[in-house]
A and B are shown apart, each in its own frame.
Chain A
Amino acid sequence: MSTDDPTPRIPEIFEAIDTGTASDPSLPRDESARVTVDGEPVELAAGATVLDAIQKVKPDSLPALCQYDHPDIGPRSECRTCVVGTDSHGIVPSCSYPAKDGMAVQIDDPRAVEARSVNLDLVLGNHNLRCTTCGKNGRCELQDTAIDEAVETPRYGVFDDRSAYEPIDDTSSFIQIDRNKCILCNRCVEACNDIQVEGVLRMEGSGADTRIGFQSGAETMEESTCVSCGHCVTVCPTGALVEKGFEDATTIPLPGFTQKNSVGSVIEASDRRRRPVTPAKRDELAKSTDELDSGTGSPDQGHAGDGEDGVPDVDPWGGGA
């Protein structure tokens, strides 16, 4: 890296990031509020949400599946398992609704109770519930919630159509993706982009095809620009993103069943040698290789998919093979 230019290049990195998610407005931070939760008064600082109020009075009384306690993550407000009743604004998602002065919150408003239950079941209905072969068994927020809420039989069943399962992406040496367990809470995308500023993960598709994908357009984790920082795994509430080596750490040993074969197809690592994926690193490598290697062409040509070294034909910043 040149020392002549002291200006960090971070803004350009931000410009290149395309998370596929909406530019949500920030929550207002202007006024403190005094509200009641099930009749109990709560004093709140400016910028507090209805969920903040509830946490003060009745901590952990709501599923709030997609909510995550970090200023740079969320509120995504997508799962709607935190909705409560209010006297002034009807049913509101507590995780993202600003607490307004004088508001009376009812956790057990019958419409809210019904909605939390239905929405939790809707999440479970599109989740591979083979907990016994899941590496997050026993440390899964969705499992914990289902237990807390005493869900025995989700009303829409569970996602158990093997032909419709997406293959497990086991191509990375460090992180495994099982999209059949993803609840699309978007925490990983925010951790990857807003905290680590890596620009790897994104939300893609729409409707039932909505999924976590890669900004480079790559199909697998191995071919993506992931630097294996692991922040996405840290924030993932379910077994959708798991550290390699832990993917079957908590599975129950049953003869013939493994974490992988319980889902069906698996995309395995190609075992191809990889070059650094970040442009800066690649340039560094290009320089050092040039110095070492006298004139057989730049390594970047090799990177562009000549197949000789098995490097995939993907331009990590250019949007796809």
Chain B
Amino acid sequence: MLPKYFYVGLPRADYDRRPRVTENLVTTDPIIRISAGAPTPFIADVDDGAVPLIGVGSTGISQIEPLAIATTGDTTVFYPQCSPTAVADLSRRLAAGDDATNQAEWVVRHQPQPRRLPIPTEGPLAVGSRDILGLCGWLRPTAGDDYRAAMGFTEPDRIDVQSQLTGLQGRGWGDIATDIPLTDIWRDIQEQSDDPVLVVNAHSNQTDHLLLESIPLAVLDGARVTAGAINATEIIIYTSDTADMPLQHTKAAIAELPRGPPVTTATGPTEYRAGEPTMALEALEGVSRIEARRRPPSPAEVGLNERPTAIHTPRTLVQLLATIHSPDRQPTRLLRYTGDVAAPAVVELPETATLEDGLGAVAPTGPIKAAAVGGQFGGFTADLDIQAHPGALGDADLGTDGRVEILTTDRCVVAEIGRRARTASETNCGRCVPCREGTTQLVGLLRAVYDGEVQAEKIQELCRVMDTTSLCAFGVQAARSVRTGLAGFQSEFTAHANGTCPAGVCYHTTVPENHRVSS
């Protein structure tokens, strides 16, 4: 029998006081798991000790959480959005040997003692694949024994990087290998004479936060493999200073790691820009003001405290780990569907699946008009029939930072784009002209639309220059939002210039033309 305790919401000190785990969740049968992204204190109230009732990490689909997952032998049943009484009842039935399937939302038959979350054939968990996410919602995030039973720590020196990882690309704007092969970056690092360091950049991406929160040991395992491949003597996990749970779980998980290079955690300011790789290095070096570094040379050559530095996101590291465990697998993409949806969801899609395929995991709050795809400054598209593959996303001028922000028909695309441009103008680091001055002028050009002028060519010209000459990806991305919005929603721009907002959002729609306020 597992000790009666649950991990979620425990203060830091309690991690150290907790009873030593002698068994793991994988081989525990029967068992009820409660999956949630936030503390579920009711577990303590309803736990009658008959069946182990254990808090596990989030599945990534907040809409169905807290999710009770009860496993006996070859059967797992799911109770989404479970109440304390429902869990207590489920526990009683399981203890009495009663059938737990009749009121379950989903029932899955499988081999006994599955190592990953059994996947229902319908509902949001059935969307895409759960190659990587299968560990989420199945393990106690910080229990080394659970991870050992489900995955097993990888021996870093048994990896043949060149043959096993050929072509695997970095994920997210916080990764220095974003959309290029990891091994290209690693080659640059290996050519340097100094000791390399690995920075795991989990600064601002919510999917990266989920991974650190739910399966930090998988991220750390991937980091150890990477450190082995580049001979890094130090691993630093970097998050924003408001990412409490990811940081807390990471710290506890570090204590469970086998012997290896030292792993530490560090935080930087919350601002989005602090997730840009060179600004992350600035934050790690403890500067008072964060701005991007000039490149080349890249951080791979001269990085943290002038050491050769690999900067990878947790998404990259779990992808790498999955590829090492099954070399023949096709890479997947972790996408977070957010915006006008009942609750955001992280979905894992094969690269050949389309953005549309991920929609099943969320409940949009209205008819979909568009999506902003990428990071904070995603590309706008009305068409979601686009593959999640970076090449396909690139062809459609969309971003690969794994965020799909749904916009329903009551949203005004012009206003959405204007808001992003303004955010970019207010939150850029201020270093380079195309980004600092370019975003300011972009805001002006977008405001002029409300005064009756769509200066499309001027906007496109400015976006081109921001794209080709910005010092870091921030300016490149800010331009993308505006460029794609203008290209895909020209009629909305024209309508605004003529004084109407088709979505009825913009303030001046009811103001007569001669009373229009110029902004």
Tell me whether B458 and A206 are in contact (CB under 8 A). no
Shortest Cβ distance from B292 into A: residue: A22
Tell me whether B438 and A20 are in contact (CB under 8 A). no
From B118-126, B144-152, B422-430, B490-498, the one touching the partner chain is B422-430
Digitize B273-289: 1 where CB-to-A-CB distance is under 8 Å, 0 elsewhere. Answer: 10000100010010111
A-B contact count (CB 8 A): 131
- Min CB gap A24→B, angstroms: 4
From A93-101, A190-198, A237-245, the one touching the partner chain is A93-101
Contacts of B464 in A (CB 8 A): 111, 114-115
If the complex has contacts A28-B297, A118-B462, are A111 and B471 also in contact, measured as CB distance less than 8 A? no
Shortest Cβ distance from A215 into B: residue: B288
- Decide yes or no whether A79 CB sits under 8 A from chain B: yes
Tell me whether A77 and B294 are in contact (CB under 8 A). yes
- Decide yes or no whether A250 CB sits under 8 A from chain B: no
Shortest Cβ distance from A319 into B: residue: B288
Tell me whether A98 and B296 are in contact (CB under 8 A). yes
- Decide yes or no whether A135 CB sits under 8 A from chain B: no
**Residue from B289, B306, B437, B444 within 8 A of A206 (CB atoms):** B289
**Residue from B282, B429, B436 within 8 A of A23 (CB atoms):** B282
- Decide yes or no whether A210 CB sits under 8 A from chain B: yes
Tell me whether B441 and A125 are in contact (CB under 8 A). yes
If the complex has contacts A23-B285, A25-B293, A210-B430, are A83 and B468 also in contact, measured as CB distance less than 8 A? yes
- Decide yes or no whether B431 CB sits under 8 A from chain A: yes
A208 to B431, CA, bound (A): 10
Tell me whether B433 and A27 are in contact (CB under 8 A). no
Shortest Cβ distance from B470 into A: residue: A80
Tell me whether B433 and A78 are in contact (CB under 8 A). yes
Tell me whether B425 and A21 are in contact (CB under 8 A). no
- Decide yes or no whether A122 CB sits under 8 A from chain B: yes
- Decide yes or no whether B365 CB sits under 8 A from chain A: no
A286 to B436, CA, bound (A): 46
Count of B residues near A, CB < 8 Å? 44
- Decide yes or no whether A209 CB sits under 8 A from chain B: yes
- Decide yes or no whether A26 CB sits under 8 A from chain B: yes
- Decide yes or no whether B461 CB sits under 8 A from chain A: yes
Tell me whether A207 and B437 are in contact (CB under 8 A). no
Chain B residues numbered 242-300 whose CB sits less than 8 Å from any CB in chain A: 273, 278, 282, 285, 287-297
A28 to B295, CA, bound (A): 11
**Residue from B296, B302, B434, B468 within 8 A of A97 (CB atoms):** B296
- Min CB gap A247→B, angstroms: 26
A83 to B469, CA, bound (A): 8
Tell me whether B434 and A122 are in contact (CB under 8 A). yes
A25 to B194, CA, bound (A): 14
Tell me whether A125 and B437 are in contact (CB under 8 A). yes
Tell me whether A22 and B440 are in contact (CB under 8 A). no
Tell me whether A206 and B434 are in contact (CB under 8 A). no
Interface centre among B296, B297, B425 (most CB of A within 10 A): B296
- Decide yes or no whether A312 CB sits under 8 A from chain B: no
**Residue from B291, B306, B426 within 8 A of A22 (CB atoms):** B291
- Decide yes or no whether B340 CB sits under 8 A from chain A: no
Tell me whether A119 and B469 are in contact (CB under 8 A). yes
- Decide yes or no whether A38 CB sits under 8 A from chain B: no
A202 to B288, CA, bound (A): 11
- Decide yes or no whether B465 CB sits under 8 A from chain A: yes
A-B CB contact pairs (8 Å), 12 listed: A75-B294, A77-B432, A78-B431, A78-B433, A83-B468, A114-B464, A115-B468, A122-B434, A123-B437, A156-B441, A204-B289, A206-B289
Given contacts A25-B294, A115-B434, list 5 more A-B pairs with CB under 8 A. A78-B432, A80-B470, A83-B468, A118-B465, A203-B430
* Chain B residues near A (Cβ < 8 Å): 273, 278, 282, 285, 287-297, 301-302, 306, 425-434, 436-441, 444, 458, 461-462, 464-465, 468-471
